[in-house]
Structure 1
Amino acid sequence: MSRLVVIGADAAGMSAASQARRMLPADRLDIVAFERGHFASYSACGIPYWVGGQVTDRDALIARTPQEHRARGIDLRMRTEVTEIDPARQRVHAVDLESGREYWTSYDHLVIATGARPVRPPMPGIDAPGVHGVQSLDDGQALLDTLDGNRGRRAVVVGAGYIGVEMAEALINRGYEVTVVNRGPEPMATLDPDMGRLVHTAMEGLGITMVGDAEVSAILTGEDGRVRGVATKDAEYPADVVVLGIGVRPETSLSGAAGLPLGAHGGLLTDRAMRVRGHENIWAGGDCVEVLDLVSGQERHIALGTHANKHGQVIGTNVGGGYATFPGVVGTAVSKVCDLEIARTGLREKDARRVGLKFETVTVESTSRAGYYPGAAPMTVKMLAERRTGRLLGVQIVGREGAAKRVDVAAVVLTAGLTVEQMTALDLGYAPPFSPVWDPVLVAARKAAAKVRSRTGHTG
């Protein structure tokens, strides 16, 4: 019998364990999984909606309980932290956080699924009570405990990426006065600044105070040690709670200490089978790895549950004796703040410039439905196409209901390597309740194709 050891019991780790168990019965494969937190197999992406009240039951975010995993033949050890990986001896060192007991566990196959950690810049007051990162279900519970115990109703969100804007919405929904302090000029740095400006305007329209080009230098605390505000070089903003939405980094401290290969973004490097490079029996997946960007051809770090679950499926299949690969990503992501929908896939302008691509851009304004049909909502679509070939490079969409999921069409086009000219002929569904005669994405493709043909207008 061989043993599979899994570090981290969320999306990638438990998907790998579950798939390996499907492939091999318990008398052929022993599976041991370690999780330092209180929860396993949950939707981290759902935490902002639980905090905001749209999801009322925490357990609704849990896909499978520890008891359910154990019933399927997986020895899941909760509140147990792996503190060392010893690749030479094929073992890991673990600590039971409740009892303090320490021990080594050997492995034949190791899966590293340690996820990502919220960025907490070193500054005065960063660890004060009332300052929260939001990455795990434990983090979400701690934030809710603070919100429920607060007398004041002022919140400051530091950072305006996906986590920042989603948490701004959650806090607005809970009746807080929300200020978002962002280092860049516009929110959503995953968009080009002109599209980020649309998000900025919409957020202000929702009653959120947006502060751009402002870097937080300190968390201010009161006499009781709790947070009372944040400070930048030019101003102070009062707060009864502070949420950090600065982003995440791969949690690879264990892997780095073990000498495993890390990439430019700090994530583990794997082959297409999700095997850690140079280590035949060590696998990694989820937010702790870097993946191939199919558009730019470079490695990048993307923390998304969709990828983590796919990584786990690939790993479990390979550990179980099958064959599977993860080819890469195109960088598709969607989000929302109240009724504003935000989507992107592929490259931004600065991404394309960084890898030496010449490109054309177009921006079009359209509606989600036929203009005469009730409920038609505005949307803005921006598209990048390679200058000479016309290959689609990226799409960004900001709009109201029905806008965000249109990005999926562009994600398929990017994966297939189609041109914007080819894109214009796509046979997309049409009826007035769902789209204008020319879908907004296809309108952008037509304009981009014309621009490529003429080779005029804005270029990168």
Structure 2
Amino acid sequence: MSERLVVIGGDAAGMSAASQARRLRSPGELEIVAFERGHFSSYSACGIPYWVGGDVASRGELIARSPEEHRARDIDLRTRTEVTEIDVPGQRVRSRDLEAGTEAWTGFDKLVIATGARPLRPPLPGIDAPGVHGVQTLDDGQALLDSLSGTPGRRAVVVGAGYIGVEMAEALLNRGYEVTVLTRGEQPMATLDPDMGRLVHRAMDGLGIRTVVSAPVTKILTGSDGRVRAVATDADEYPADVVVLGTGVVPETSLARAAGLPLGTYGGLLTDLAMRVRGHENIWAGGDCVEVLDLVSGRERHVPLGTHANKHGQVIGSNVGGGYSTFPGVVGTAVSKVCDLEIARTGLREKDAREVGLRFVTVTVESSSRAGYYPGAAPMTVKMLAEKRTGRLLGVQIVGREGAAKRVDIAAVALTAGMTVEGMTALDLGYAPPFSPVWDPVLVAARKAVAAVRAAE
């Protein structure tokens, strides 16, 4: 007898799960119904800043597979349809057609929750004024582009200086806007230690992006037409014709919470290694709505990245489809850029290490992307954390120009393997003057970390 799989969420995790399950089980064995409240499916949200900034020519280039393509593969994907309730004992979900306004119940034998994350929208006066935009979905990106094209002014304020904030600052700069970034943090990029964030701050200022730190926003000011005209902090007002919110995200688990499903410290769903929701044999969850195991700290974290979401979907789809797969955890690797400045991190910051009770040493080295005599060599700064006594690698942060960011992958592999900094110094990395100095910057940092660990004994 045929089973029914219901998927809530039509982006990376949800549709990867549906597609993988379909590869393993035929329509006669498994009916798949997916609900997506937006207009689009299987798209790259990470690409939205580059579409807004003009590096990506059109919205369609960000879509990996359209709703029509999913339907052609026997997946009943229902767009503009929002799930409003999960009835766990009754094994059914209630949905609302956002165009027609009608509601219906759909039963399931297996359920995948892939509801993603929602942007933090601080409850400030004026936060919902015309001209204030989040950038979580393709619909958000389109709304921002429409606003930019209809706004004669050329002043933009970005609230928040995390990944989205700095990427949107670059996008707006590329479109000819005068850009101010406001952050409540000590430095931009709170995913880095403050000393590394200071390098980002300096570079952003050099690019013409005004960055104001320790400046929590208190309200959005509007003009007589109701549209945004400025952003206020306790200390100042910053004129704005458009405002972009980059204040971070939280797991979108309101449905799961109402259904009594288990949530973690950060509000994300808790799953086992097979991505099955703990305590529920027929419910899986993946993507930005879940918490995952940090392999370095041993604690659960919320890490909203498309790379993880797609992997979660593959694992879920394999298990739903009758196969077997697991997701062991993450080490917290992320890269970004603002204009020609590359930013990367993996593992723990100093703050993270202290919170879990680890004792550590830190080292920072200045190096270059290529042999110093080879044309185009660019500077980079590498910071490395290692555990005292054992020398276990705990984290790496890199800020530099071309060739800097992807070097963090060396450290990500070392972290996953549980390597020591001494073991890292023997890594057989590729070398030629156009690509690296004889000693790669990451290995230079590892050598210095070895010395710091020995000195701390």
SS in 1 for 2:225: coil
Shift of 1:237: 0.5
Q: When the two structures are superposed, what TM-score results if normalisation uses the length of structure 2?
A: 0.99
Q: Counterpart of 2:409 in structure 1: which amino acid?
A: D
SS in 1 for 2:78: strand
1:272 corresponds to 2:283: no
1:43 corresponds to 2:15: no
- After superposition, residues 32-431 of structure 1 pair within 5 angstroms as 32-431=33-432
After superposing on structure 2, the runs of 4+ consecutive aligned residues of structure 1 that deviate more than 3 Å are none
SS in 1 for 2:288: coil
Shift of 1:455: 1.0
CA distance in 2, matches of 1:152, 1:257: 44
**Of 447-456 and 120-129, the range deviating more from structure 2:** 447-456
Q: Counterpart of 1:170 in structure 2: which amino acid?
A: A
Q: Counterpart of 2:7 in structure 1: which amino acid?
A: V
SS in 2 for 1:16: helix
1:14 corresponds to 2:15: yes
Shift of 1:57: 1.2
Shift of 1:307: 0.1
1:173-210 alpha-carbon deviations (Å, 9 max, x no partner) = 00000000000120000000000000000000000111
Shift of 1:62: 0.2
CA distance in 2, matches of 1:234, 1:199: 23
CA distance in 2, matches of 1:229, 1:273: 48
Shift of 1:166: 0.3
1:310-361 alpha-carbon deviations (Å, 9 max, x no partner) = 0000000000111100000000000000000000000000000000000000
Shift of 1:454: 1.6
Matched length: 456
Q: Counterpart of 1:349 in structure 2: which amino acid?
A: E
CA distance in 2, matches of 1:29, 1:182: 48
Shift of 1:158: 0.3
Q: Which runs of 5+ in 2 are unaligned?
A: none
CA distance in 2, matches of 1:177, 1:63: 33
CA distance in 2, matches of 1:157, 1:235: 15
CA distance in 2, matches of 1:413, 1:340: 24
Q: Counterpart of 1:439 in structure 2: which amino acid?
A: D
CA distance in 1, matches of 2:106, 2:383: 52
Shift of 1:172: 0.1
CA distance in 2, matches of 1:357, 1:100: 54
1:137-189 alpha-carbon deviations (Å, 9 max, x no partner) = 11101110101111000000000000000000000000000000000120000
RMSD: 0.5
Q: Counterpart of 2:447 in structure 1: which amino acid?
A: R
Alignment partner, residue 26 of structure 1: 27
CA distance in 2, matches of 1:184, 1:46: 25
SS in 1 for 2:289: coil
Q: Counterpart of 2:288 in structure 1: which amino acid?
A: D
CA distance in 2, matches of 1:98, 1:313: 31
Q: Counterpart of 1:444 in structure 2: which amino acid?
A: A
CA distance in 2, matches of 1:370, 1:315: 45
Shift of 1:101: 1.3
CA distance in 2, matches of 1:88, 1:124: 41
SS in 2 for 1:414: helix
- After superposition, residues 435-450 of structure 1 pair within 5 angstroms as 435-450=436-451
Shift of 1:74: 0.1
CA distance in 1, matches of 2:87, 2:350: 43
Shift of 1:64: 0.3
Shift of 1:453: 1.2
CA distance in 2, matches of 1:45, 1:13: 16
CA distance in 1, matches of 2:67, 2:172: 31
CA distance in 2, matches of 1:292, 1:321: 24
CA distance in 1, matches of 2:246, 2:397: 21
Q: Which runs of 5+ in 1 are unaligned?
A: none
1:376-429 alpha-carbon deviations (Å, 9 max, x no partner) = 000000000001100000000000000000000000000000000000000000
Q: Counterpart of 2:53 in structure 1: which amino acid?
A: G
CA distance in 2, matches of 1:229, 1:318: 51
Shift of 1:80: 0.3
Q: Counterpart of 1:358 in structure 2: which amino acid?
A: R
SS in 2 for 1:287: helix
CA distance in 1, matches of 2:249, 2:134: 10
SS in 2 for 1:336: strand
Shift of 1:280: 0.7
CA distance in 2, matches of 1:375, 1:106: 60
CA distance in 1, matches of 2:29, 2:159: 49
CA distance in 2, matches of 1:455, 1:228: 54
Q: When the two structures are superposed, what TM-score results if normalisation uses the length of structure 1?
A: 0.99
Shift of 1:450: 1.0
Shift of 1:109: 0.4
